[in-house]
Structure 1
C-alpha cells in the first residue's frame, strides 16, 4: 500500500512539474511564433518588391526592343533614302555625260534646227577668266547650199572672209571655231579694258577703238613722278595679248632701265589689268 501511494504521489508531482514547464515555455513559444510571422511578412514584402522589379525590368526590355526596332527601321529608311539620292545622282551624271558627249560631237556649240530641218541656229557664247560675257547667234541655211543667214555678229568681224577661208560646204566646224576664237578674243580685250577702268583709277584711258585692238593709256611713274604714255596694239585678232607695246616719256632715260624693260615684257605677256596691278605693287606706277 505504501509503495503504491508513493508512486501515485511521484506521478502527480511529475504531472505538476510538466504542467509548470508547459506554462513557463508558453510565452517563449508565443514570442517565437511572432518572430516567424514577422519573418513571413518580410519575405512576402520582399517577394512583392522582387515581382515589381521584375515587371519593371520586363517593361524596360520591351521598351528597348521597341526602340531598337524603330532605330533599325529608321536606319533602313535612311539607307533607302541615301540609295535613292545616289541613284538619282548617278542618273543625272549619266545624262550630263551623254549631253557633253553630244555637245562635243557638234563641236561644242549649241545648235537648234530651224526651217523644218533646212537650217540651224548656232549660239556662240563668249567668256573671259571664267566669266560668261556676250552671246552671239547666227542662222546657217543648208539648202540650196550652206550659207550664213541672219546673225548678230559685230560688223568688224570679217564674216564673209571667214566663210570663204573655211569653205562652208565642207568645213562648217572650222568656220565656227575661227569665228568663236575671234569673238572670245574681242570679248577678252574689251573685258580687260573694263577691268582697267574699274581697278585702276589712277590710270587714264586716252584712246581705244571699237575692236579694242588699239589702247592708249596714261599713268605716272611713282619715283620719277613723270607721266608715261603707253600704247598697246593687238594685231592678232584671235588673241587677248598685245603684239606690240610702246612706252613714251619726256625723260626717256629711266625707260631704258632694266626695271622698265621688265615692265615692258610684263605688259606684253600678261593681261593688261593684271600687269598694271603688278607694276603698282612693285612701286613703279601710282
Structure 2
C-alpha cells in the first residue's frame, strides 16, 4: 500500500511539473506567433507600396512616351492622376540630383536643357567669405567630356582632368580643381586686403594668377627700402613657398629678426603678417 501511495504522489508531482512547463511554453509560442504575424503585415504593406509605385511609374512612362510621340493625352490638369504624375516626375528628378550630388562629393549640379549633360558649380571662399562661383558643363553622351566652362584660362582644367582621370574618378578631379580655384581666390583676396589695409606698403609686381607678389616696405629706424618677393609655387595653397628679401644692407636678410619675419610671411596670410610686423615696428 505504501509503495502504491508513493507512486501516486510521484505521478501527481510529474503531472504538475508537465503542466507548469506547458504554461511557460504557451506565452513563448504566442509571442512567436505575434512576431510572425507582425512580419507578415510589414511585408504585405511593403508589397502593396511597391505595387503602387510600379503602377504609378508605368503611368508616368506611358504619359512621357505619348508626349515624346506627339500624342496629346486627354487629361484634366487638376485631376488626381495628373497631380500624381507631376509629383512623381519631380520626385524622380530630385532623386537623380541627390544621387549625382552624393557621387561627386557635394558639389551643386543642375541638368542642362540644351545638351545631354550637367552643369557643376564650384564656389570659392576665403576666411569665411564667399567669393566667385565658377561653372563647368560636362557632357554625358558617351563618356565624360568638358564642353564649356568659365574657369580662368590659367587654371589647367584639361590637364587636371587628364591627370586625375575624370572618366573614372570625377570626385578627385573636382576636389583638386576646387583646391586650385579656392587657392587662387584666397591669394587674390589677400592681395586686395593688402592694398586696402596697408597703404604704406607698395605693391611693385603681381600676376593674374597671384602666384608672384613683390612689395616694398620701409624700415622705420633707417628709412631703408626693402623689396620682399613672395613666391606661391604651389598653386593649391594660399601661402607662399619661398620668401626673398633684397635691400642695400646685405646682412639684413640673414639677421635673426628678419629670418623670423620671413618665417611669419610663409606661415600667415600676407596682410595679417604685415599687421604683426607693423606692431613690432619692423616696417612703417
The alpha carbon displacement at 1:113 in A equals 1.3
1:213 has 2:211 as partner: yes
- The separation in 1 between residues aligned to 2:115 and 2:266, in whole angstroms, is 47
The alpha carbon displacement at 1:251 in A equals 1.2
Asked if the contact 2:138–2:146 (Cα under 8 Å) also holds between the matched residues in 1, the reply is yes
Residues 200 and 104 of structure 1: is their aligned pair in 2 closer, same or farther, counting only changes over 3 Å?
farther
Alignment of 1:136-147 (within 5 A): 136-147=134-145
- The separation in 1 between residues aligned to 2:188 and 2:238, in whole angstroms, is 9
The alpha carbon displacement at 1:268 in A equals 1.0
Equivalence for 2:18: none
Q: Deviations over 1:16-53 (max 9, x none)?
A: xxxxxxxxxxxxxxxxxxxxxxxxxxxxxxxxxxxxxx
Residues 149 and 274 of structure 1: is their aligned pair in 2 closer, same or farther, counting only changes over 3 Å?
same
The alpha carbon displacement at 1:135 in A equals 0.5
The alpha carbon displacement at 1:118 in A equals 2.6
Q: Deviations over 1:229-263 (max 9, x none)?
A: 00011100100000110001101223322111100
Q: Deviations over 1:126-145 (max 9, x none)?
A: 00000001010010011121
- The separation in 2 between residues aligned to 1:101 and 1:270, in whole angstroms, is 39
| Richer in helix (by share) | 1
Alignment of 1:22-101 (within 5 A): none
Equivalence for 1:75: none
Equivalence for 1:169: 167
The alpha carbon displacement at 1:216 in A equals 0.4
Asked if the contact 2:119–2:135 (Cα under 8 Å) also holds between the matched residues in 1, the reply is yes
Equivalence for 1:261: 259
Equivalence for 1:225: 223
Equivalence for 1:155: 153
Unaligned runs of 5+ in 2: 1-96
The alpha carbon displacement at 1:158 in A equals 0.7
Residues 254 and 103 of structure 1: is their aligned pair in 2 closer, same or farther, counting only changes over 3 Å?
same
The alpha carbon displacement at 1:148 in A equals 0.4
Q: What is the TM-score normalised by the length of structure 2?
A: 0.63
Q: Deviations over 1:257-279 (max 9, x none)?
A: 21111001101111000000000
Root-mean-square deviation (Å):
1.9
Q: Deviations over 1:200-227 (max 9, x none)?
A: 0000000000000001000001122110
Unaligned runs of 5+ in 1: 1-98
Equivalence for 2:271: 273
The alpha carbon displacement at 1:102 in A equals 8.4
Equivalence for 1:251: 249
1:181 has 2:179 as partner: yes
Larger Rg over CA atoms: 1
Equivalence for 1:131: 129
Q: Deviations over 1:169-214 (max 9, x none)?
A: 1111111111110000000000000000000000000000000000
